[in-house]
Amino acid sequence: MNRHFTCEDIFRLLSGYIDNELDTLMREIVEEHIKECERCLSLLHTIEKTIAISRETHRKKKVPKKVVNRVYYELRIRYKR
Ligand SMILES: [Zn+2]
């Protein structure tokens, strides 16, 4: 591993991380990063919380992609500050 991952990279991986769609290597990259980056860690928590709430609202196991995408869109704006 000789590539440095930025918060932008992690941000892009978070969606797959939450959905369990990343391979082991990618998961490790995310986990290593959030261990040392509070910004990405709190971002992950925010996304997870939002998904949990929307899961209850929709009473479904799977949150509609539309909802998830909106969360990402809003977070992305905040992230860019
Ligand atoms: Zn970060």
Span 40-79, pLDDT tens digits: 999 999 988 888 888 777 776 666 777 777 777 777 777 6
10-33 CB burial, b ≥16 within 10 A, e <16: bbebbbebbeeebeeeeeebbeeb
Beta-carbon count within 10 A of 43 CB:
19
Expressed in angstroms and rounded, the spacing between residue 15 Cα and the centre of ligand 1 is 14
**Distance from residue 13's CA to the centre of ligand 1 (Å):** 11
CA–centroid distance, 59 to ligand 1, in Å, is: 32
Residue 75 Cα to ligand 1 midpoint, Å, equals: 13
pLDDT exceeds 70 at position 81: no
Composition of the chain by helix, strand, coil, percent to 5 = 75, 0, 25
Does the pTM exceed 0.75?
A: no
